[in-house]
Amino acid sequence: MYRVRGKSRVLLGVLMLILSLFGGCSRGAPRTPAGARVLSQEGPAEGNPATVPFTDSAGRTVMVPAKISRVVPSGGLAQIFLLAIAPDLLCAVSGPYTAEETEFIPSSVLALPVVGQFYGGGTLNYEEIAAIGPEMVIDIGIPKNSIVEDMDSIAQAISVPAVHITATLDSTPGTFRALGKLLGREERGEALAAFCEKTLAAAGEINAMVGDRKKQVIYCTGKAGLNIIAAGAFHAEVLDLMAENRAVVDVPSSRGSGNTIDLEQLYLWDPELILFSPGSVYDTVARDPTWGQLRAIREEAYYEVPIGPYNWLGNPPSINRYLGILWLGTLLYPEYAPYDLFTETAEYYRLFYGYELSRERYEGLTAKGLRAGGPSR
């Protein structure tokens, strides 16, 4: 009887050991918190799921592929962000690139099909997107009041997840970090976020030294130069950050073209410095006596905003605005700018576009934005 009980105990001990090993593995497996991303380097396998939860900026928890390889932007802003962090994951673009933009865009992206955009005309081509076969659609920018319904409608129409990530001037570093987690590009997202944070910090240093002595500036747009980007408008974020925006109106326009005014209103504002958008009247105001009545024109304190591939001050209002911050810091307060504009601009183009900016090309980009006789380059 004793030997039988001994054998039973041995067998029972072995069985318990085996169960504890398997059970221990199960109990020790890490859990994924809501909204986190677990990135799979392999295909679906035990403990390596095909989909994981992602909580977007709209508060929606969406199941997304654990390893994402094909994405479509919902519009122009998303396209710009995705080009910076993961151009190889794009399988379509929202709109074609202009001849001026193509210099800075990889040829592989230029060859992608154009599928339209969800906002700004509602040209998103669901059938073509479905035929292309993306794994998800990404929307980036300022959320509409209907953002939850909008993302749900895209997902239902194409049968792939659609997520929104909010991006403002201040929140862009966080946007890149969120994209890095979502797309499995944490290191790249961190590098882009760090550049944006460094730029915002430089703007803070300049503003601290300038105090209440900010330059009085107006930003004129349109072919006649009689549209202005008013203080408080979404498209005026950079100008409002770096200067005293003299264009104060009752209802700032939310459109990139701004509010329409007349020269009499400009005379009343009479700013120290005037900025003109590309394609406006920068080249002709010096010969126009009506514009010559403004002190900024008389004193040659007027400049054209650089462009390449996008307007540096925010048309569209995306990551190009960080170049605008650096440029305005040098243009308005050269004695306080804690950086060399060419060095920072070259780093930006290398980091965000994979483009090596030569000194000669930089001079061409800023020819009307940092004129001879104006602020130091």
H or E element, residue 194: helix 186-210
User: Which residues lie below 8 Å from residue 238, measured CB to CB, with a gap of 6+?
Assistant: 169, 313, 314, 321, 324, 325, 328
Residues in the chain: 377
Q: What is the pLDDT of residue 100?
A: 86
Q: What is the pLDDT of residue 315?
A: 86
CA distances 333 to 131, 203, 205, Å, are 52, 11, 11
Q: What is the pLDDT of residue 371?
A: 65
Tally Cβ neighbours within 10 Å of residue 144. Answer: 14
What would the two tokens of residue 212 be?
A: 């209440």
Written as tens digits, the pLDDT of the chain (377 aa) is 333 344 444 333 433 433 333 333 333 333 333 233 433 333 344 555 799 999 999 999 999 999 999 999 999 999 999 999 999 999 999 999 998 899 999 999 999 999 999 998 889 999 999 999 999 999 999 999 999 999 999 999 999 999 999 999 999 999 999 999 999 999 999 999 999 999 999 999 999 999 999 999 999 999 999 999 999 998 999 999 999 999 999 999 988 899 999 999 999 999 999 999 999 999 999 999 999 999 999 999 999 999 999 999 988 999 999 999 999 999 999 999 999 999 999 999 999 999 999 999 999 999 999 964 344 33
Distance from C-alpha of 87 to C-alpha of 112, rounded to nearest angstrom: 11
Phi, psi of 52 (to 5 degrees): -135, 160
291 CB burial (10 A radius; 0-12, 13-18, 19+)? buried
What would the two tokens of residue 91 be?
A: 């399988």
Residue 244's nearest CA partner among 255, 252, 232, 253 is 232
Residue 271's nearest CA partner among 295, 298, 299, 305 is 295
CA distances 306 to 127, 262, 367, 371, Å, are 38, 24, 8, 12
Q: What is the pLDDT of residue 76?
A: 95
Residue 77's nearest CA partner among 57, 89, 55, 95 is 95
Phi, psi of 297 (to 5 degrees): -75, -45
What would the two tokens of residue 227 be?
A: 């549209």
Distance from C-alpha of 350 to C-alpha of 73, rounded to nearest angstrom: 22
H or E element, residue 164: strand 162-166
pTM of the predicted protein model? 0.85
Residue 90's nearest CA partner among 76, 74, 69 is 69
Residues of the chain with CATH 3.40.50.1980: 51-184, 194-365
The answer as to CATH 3.20.20.105 being correct for domain 194-365 is no
What would the two tokens of residue 157 be?
A: 């129409």
Write out the DSSP string of 196-254: HHHHHHHHHHHHHHHTT-PPEEEEEESTTS-EE--TT-GGGHHHHHHSEE----SS--S
Local structure of 178: helix, strand or coil? helix
**What kind of fold does domain 51-184 have according to CATH?**
Rossmann fold (3.40.50)
Q: What is the pLDDT of residue 121?
A: 84
Residue 189's nearest CA partner among 200, 175, 202 is 175
Strand ranges, E, within 235-290 = 244-245, 259-260, 273-276
Give yes or no for a contact between 288 and 240, defined as CB atoms under 8 angstroms apart: no
What would the two tokens of residue 357 be?
A: 């900016």
Residue 63's nearest CA partner among 178, 159, 188 is 159
What would the two tokens of residue 320 be?
A: 């190009």
CA distances 239 to 137, 207, 247, 321, 374, Å, are 32, 12, 11, 10, 19
Give yes or no for a contact between 297 and 285, defined as CB atoms under 8 angstroms apart: yes
Q: What is the pLDDT of residue 43?
A: 38
